[in-house]
Structure 1
Amino acid sequence: MRSVLWYKDITRRECCVIAKSTKDSFVLEMKCAVLGWQHHILQTRFELARKLYNTTLSYALKQYQLMIESKKYRKQLRLYRETKLKVERITHKEKIRLYKKEVDSYTKILNDIRQSYGLTEYGLHAFIKKYQQNVKKHIDSNTSQKIASTVWKAMKTVLFQGKKAHFKKYGSVTSLEGKTNKSGIRFKNNEIHWNGFVLPVLIRKKDLFIEESLACHKIKYCRLVKKVIRGKDTYYVQLVMDGIPLVKRVNSAGAFRHKKTPPNRVGMDIGTSTIAVSSETEVWIQPLAPKIPQMDKEKRRLLRKLDRSRRSNNPNNFHPDGTVKRGIQLTWTRSHHYLKALYQLKELYRKRSVYIKEQHSQIANRILSCGDEVYVETMNFKALAKRAKETKKNKKGKIQQKKRFGKSVGSYAPVMLVDIIHQKLTYIHNQIHKVNTRTFKASQYNHVTNSYQKKKLHQRWTWIENHLVQRDLYSAFLLMNSEMNLQEPNRELCKKTFEKFIELHDQQIERLKQKQVSLPSSIGMKRIS
């Protein structure tokens, strides 16, 4: 295991990895009209693809094990490790230069050894070819090569990151794609052609975006995607198009759906469940996905139902205190009611995912209608989701819970929103600006007194020059007025725009009071009846 970690250090910099294409592209997704007999053929092909994947991964893992056990590899790895330590310990510049040359030579030898064992993308392409010939009636050569490329991505995590690669379970392969639109899986005349199999594609009438995209852009390749919707397999085709997507228009009138992005600054303070935005024209705060709590209630009900069914059908798998037996192989019996509830739970998760993505896209469009220069704090949401390490006690002497924001981060997916905004900005050749959280301290700074003051998490309001302002909205205001170095707020710019911010801030607070809806506690406003 130790040798693997040292090899990981080598290959991150020196391995021969094909770079990902940096050309602009976007995806058109359309539903396929699949008949009953066509469902059977597609299920057969997806299952054969899974077997090809597992066969190729099994070969790659065996070759990997043989490589790390070979004497030649271990010898070169030991020499590389010793030379690397010399580089870190000495200070003489000339010796460092010579040792670095030796490190490079050992790295090249180790990479040559890896290639000799077929642990490359093209090596896996060559291996899968002979197995593809057995199923060439269903799987073409381009699709099989893409399967091998997927295996290579999994092996890169094993080789270069020290992680594990997992085999695909039955029914877990949900997408297959080709390499070009000239052979294999092809889109032609509103149909999918694949090894003599023709699948009609459903295109809505007068859909300007799809019509213009197909007319103005070239299709790179096609991807077939399987989704389980309401317990049934539904197939979609994703056309990966070359270039930047066109601006969407209203199908009936032909007018643009969204306003043109103006060249203005926008500050965005994103939390685990809410978002606050400040710009020259708008100031607003809202939950990331308002209907998620209702879905969580339904999810808890289904989970309790599944747990009751599991315990009643498998009483011998539990101890008297209700815990699951460990250390022995257990057989679980699933009733028809259990499976029905399980499919309902999966459908709920699918709806949650679609709803969150839809809400995030709407928020992203609203933010970009305010400006194209978006500033946001660098947030480590993964760390926020983890449990606290320190054990603390409250005022009454009781131990506080170590839970933090894992549930909120998992439910509202704030990172997805940042990624969507970044993706939309790349279409106009721009990018999101991430300020340094440690030096900026947006939640502590006061631009009037030019001072920092720590606030507790429950303090959602703060006084700024005789004005009571919402904490998150003020943080967004400071982010909007960031210095170009992204390290601190621009105080002079804050003074110029503060009066307009207060006016828009008060209007937003008044609108929230008039809505008469329940708002998250993190906003700091109770329900107004």
Structure 2
Amino acid sequence: KERSFMAIRKKQEPDEYQKALRKFHKKSNRHVVVFEADISEDEKRRIFSDADHLRQCGNELLGIMERNLEQLLRTKRYRALQKLYGKVADPIHALEKKEVLSDEETQKLNHLKKERAELTNSMNRMRESYQVTWDFCRTKMMELKETYHLQSIFALSRAEDIWAAIETILYSSGRKLHFKKRGDLPEIRAKQSTRGLVIDSSQSGLIVKYGKVTIPCKYKAKDLWLWDEEKAILAYLEESEIQDAHAVDQMSKGIIMDTYRPCFASLVCKKIRGRLRVYVHITVEGKAISKRRKDSTPRHYYGKGNIGCDIGTQTIAYTSNTEV
């Protein structure tokens, strides 16, 4: 009799340098650079079509998850567990804020943490039985993507967005899930720079490869800030290994430097005054380059005075002696 042996795939453990590099990636800052895609109308229509398929697939998954979530929240047992969790969590937060705890308070805190862990396990078991988990959301999306002919990395990014919306209802103040209407297209995002949307350099400048479509990144000639950003990204792509090694070395000295590594890209489809436009959003590692004028003088100076703060609808902006 013939025996078939399956090769066991061993996971390669990262060495010390790779661990340090991952640590640097977690500590470093991020900012987003927006370019316009310089492609033909046919290529734009294809990207719009792919984004619409991603919207339909996401809506189908959202409908399944919404039905499971409603069934879970309708049960008396889960609602009772939520109330008990709230009663236990508030005293824990109050005790953890205190700098010094007495022996009685320490015992009470440990007892409350054990009770919270038991409640968490009970709630997790109920979520698994009602299929309101990240694993179910991810595997269901992998099934649905075959119907809509989507790449795995784009489908997974959309599933992450849907699960984040569900988490706002489970753990935060979210009340309702919202479906994407026709024309409200989600962004096509790949969380890796080497899959799906490949960021590369060419003689003309920065490009993004989306399948068989090569997307040159376009911007206005007068935009010096985008020119500086593109130059910094291209400099990293030319000597990525040297830049990473230098960044790890600087981190050992307590310095987090700006490498301008392109982390990942996403395509945003918009219809402006009847014209189709596709924008390339590239998430870059490091702080944004300071804006300058044509004569290389900085556009913004540090002033003398009080610290300012502007609280907007979605963002908070502040200035201090060291940063803006």
How high is the TM-score relative to the length of structure 1?
0.42
1:114 shift after superposition: 2.1
Decide whether the 8 Å contact of 1:46 with 1:176 is kept in 2: yes
Correspondence for 1:200 among 216, 224, 229: 216
- Decide whether aligned partners of structure 1 residues 82 and 193 sit closer, same or farther in structure 2, where only a CA change above 3 A counts: closer
Correspondence for 1:258 among 283, 294, 299: 299
Counterpart residue identity of residue 56, structure 1: L
- Decide whether aligned partners of structure 1 residues 266 and 121 sit closer, same or farther in structure 2, where only a CA change above 3 A counts: farther
Q: Tell me if 1:144 matches 2:144.
A: no
1:250 and 1:58 map into 2 onto residues whose CA distance is: 51
- Decide whether aligned partners of structure 1 residues 218 and 73 sit closer, same or farther in structure 2, where only a CA change above 3 A counts: same
Q: Tell me if 1:181 matches 2:193.
A: yes
Correspondence for 2:47 among 24, 42, 47: 42
1:56 and 1:28 map into 2 onto residues whose CA distance is: 30
- The match for 1:215 is 235
- The match for 2:10 is none
- The match for 1:102 is 115
1:75 and 1:64 map into 2 onto residues whose CA distance is: 16
Which secondary structure state, in structure 1, belongs to the residue aligned with residue 191 of structure 2?
A: coil
1:96 and 1:41 map into 2 onto residues whose CA distance is: 57
Decide whether the 8 Å contact of 2:233 with 2:262 is kept in 1: no
- Decide whether aligned partners of structure 1 residues 247 and 162 sit closer, same or farther in structure 2, where only a CA change above 3 A counts: closer
Decide whether the 8 Å contact of 1:187 with 1:193 is kept in 2: yes
What percentage of residue pairs aligned between the two structures are identical? 19
Q: Deviations over 1:435-466 (max 9, x none)?
A: xxxxxxxxxxxxxxxxxxxxxxxxxxxxxxxx
Decide whether the 8 Å contact of 2:55 with 2:186 is kept in 1: no
Correspondence for 1:58 among 63, 86, 105: 63
Unmatched runs of 5 consecutive residues or more in structure 2: 1-25, 93-103, 237-259
Q: Tell me if 1:157 matches 2:168.
A: yes
2:60 and 2:230 map into 1 onto residues whose CA distance is: 38
How high is the TM-score relative to the length of structure 2?
0.66
Q: Tell me if 1:32 matches 2:51.
A: no
- Decide whether aligned partners of structure 1 residues 417 and 222 sit closer, same or farther in structure 2, where only a CA change above 3 A counts: closer
1:76 shift after superposition: 4.9
2:261 and 2:78 map into 1 onto residues whose CA distance is: 46
2:314 and 2:157 map into 1 onto residues whose CA distance is: 29
Decide whether the 8 Å contact of 2:69 with 2:130 is kept in 1: yes
1:232 and 1:185 map into 2 onto residues whose CA distance is: 23
1:36 shift after superposition: 2.4
Q: Deviations over 1:276-307 (max 9, x none)?
A: xxxxxxxxxxxxxxxxxxxxxxxxxxxxxxxx
1:67 shift after superposition: 2.3
Unmatched runs of 5 consecutive residues or more in structure 1: 1-20, 268-373, 380-413, 432-529
- Decide whether aligned partners of structure 1 residues 235 and 84 sit closer, same or farther in structure 2, where only a CA change above 3 A counts: closer
